Amino acid sequence: RAKSEGRGTYRFFEAKMGVEVRERRLLEHDLRHAVARGEMQLVYQPQTEVGSGAVIGFEALLRWKHPERGYVSPALFIPIAEESDAILQIGEWVLREACREAASWPQPLSIAVNVSAVQIHSSHFVGLVHEVLLKTGLAPHRLEVEVTETALISDPSRALLTLRQLKALGLRIAMDDFGTGYSSLSNLRSFPFDKIKIDGSFVRSVDSNEQTAAIVRSVLGLGRGLGLPVLAEGVETDAELGFLIAEQCHEAQGYLMGRPSPIGQFTQYTHGTIPFTADDRKRA
Ligand code: C2E
Ligand code: MG
Ligand code: MG
Ligand code: MG
């Protein structure tokens, strides 16, 4: 009896796996055409200076509107795109689109673009970035490339070479999702980062959980010691922002300051110079 139950469970498991594999293949197939079919869109999320509340730039975040499924989360489709190499074509579109958009903004505003491991390890990537900067006229120092630690570990020496070449173009490099990857501390020493982005999971409840607070404080100390600005991701409440102000975190990003939205939502910044202060937020 145990044996047949076991077999049944296995069959159920196998069937479920089959569905998941099929699902992935379908999405993978649709992803190959998504850019050409105009299904990809960028939304932008403001990044603010904690002290003044001023908007200093935006992070571009990818949205895929699937013709039948509606919006598919990047957390789901980016890993599939990475496995199938479709990420190279998609990532190129993101870079062109984000830089083209940012080139029209007032000078001080920067644009942060997420870049995947596959792109970092592609031999064309540095040349592509160079070409896009020239073509769009975006000043290199206004472009920030966000990479996660997992993008670096498969071939660290190659990744280091690429990051150095990118820096030679004049752009900046941020370590994304800090605290969630592997061996964060040695990565900070080995790679030429310009900024640390603390993962949102550490920012959530930082005002009420002593352990979380201790971790965030120590990352801020790390940033100070290394001379790197720290940006806190996923700030949702005034209490969380209050903690970051008190601990002198440099920059913040999260639903509290603004949800990722079509750029048209932010014309007061991208077409003008209205500072984004805490008072503005209360009035909004
Ligand atoms: P990420 O780069 O760490 O981006 C931050 C994520 O946190 C975004 O999710 C953003 O919408 C979300 N977020 C921002 N503020 C808050 C907040 O206050 N609370 C909460 N709960 N979430 C907040 P999103 O847009 O779903 O993107 C997920 C991940 O997908 C990104 O994480 C990034 O790793 C990847 N991704 C997005 N766009 C691209 C892209 O163009 N290229 C690549 N390679 N990856 C991308
Ligand atoms: Mg990011
Ligand atoms: Mg992140
Ligand atoms: Mg992430």
Please give the Cα distance from 207 to 151 (Å, whole number). 31
Is any ligand 1 atom within 6 A of the Cβ of residue 175? no
Looking up tokens 């159920």 gives: 12
Which tokens go with 161? 């070479």
Locate the ligand 1 atom nearest the alpha carbon of residue 204 and give its number. 19
> Are the beta carbons of 61 and 42 closer than 8 angstroms?
yes
Please give the Cα distance from 123 to 111 (Å, whole number). 23
Please give the Cα distance from 62 to 95 (Å, whole number). 11
Is any ligand 1 atom within 6 A of the Cβ of residue 255? yes
How many Å lie between the centroid of ligand 2 and the Cα of residue 131? 22
- pLDDT at residue number 74: 97
Note the pTM of the prediction, 2 decimals.
Answer: 0.92
Question: Closest Cα partner for 266 from 99, 73, 109?
Answer: 109
Please give the Cα distance from 113 to 76 (Å, whole number). 18
The amino acid at residue 8 is G
DSSP 271: S
Is any ligand 1 atom within 6 A of the Cβ of residue 200? yes
Which tokens go with 139? 């000043």
Question: Closest Cα partner for 204 from 252, 228, 237?
Answer: 237
- pLDDT at residue number 18: 73
Out of 45, 83, 114, mutate this one to test ligand 1's pocket (max ligand atoms within 8 Å of CB): namely 114
Nearest ligand by distance to the CA of 80: 1
Please give the Cα distance from 215 to 247 (Å, whole number). 12
Out of 61, 65, 150, mutate this one to test ligand 1's pocket (max ligand atoms within 8 Å of CB): namely 61
Is any ligand 1 atom within 6 A of the Cβ of residue 157? no
Per-residue pLDDT of the chain (284 residues; tens, 9 = 90+): 444 455 556 565 566 667 788 888 999 999 999 999 999 999 999 999 999 999 999 999 999 999 999 999 999 999 999 998 899 999 999 999 999 999 999 999 999 999 999 999 999 999 999 999 999 999 999 999 999 988 888 899 999 999 999 999 999 999 999 988 776 788 898 999 999 999 999 999 899 999 999 999 999 999 999 999 999 999 999 999 999 999 999 999 999 999 999 999 999 999 976 655 555 555 44
The amino acid at residue 225 is G
Question: Closest Cα partner for 202 from 228, 227, 223, 220?
Answer: 220
- pLDDT at residue number 13: 58
Nearest ligand by distance to the CA of 197: 3
- pLDDT at residue number 7: 57
Is any ligand 1 atom within 6 A of the Cβ of residue 46? no
User: ipTM of this predicted complex?
Assistant: 0.98
Locate the ligand 1 atom nearest the alpha carbon of residue 256 and give its number. 18
Which tokens go with 284? 């909004």
The amino acid at residue 240 is E
Which tokens go with 247? 């601990």
Q: Quick one: three-class SS letters along 66-90?
A: ECCCEEECHHHHHHHHHHHCHHHHH
Please give the Cα distance from 47 to 59 (Å, whole number). 7
- pLDDT at residue number 15: 63
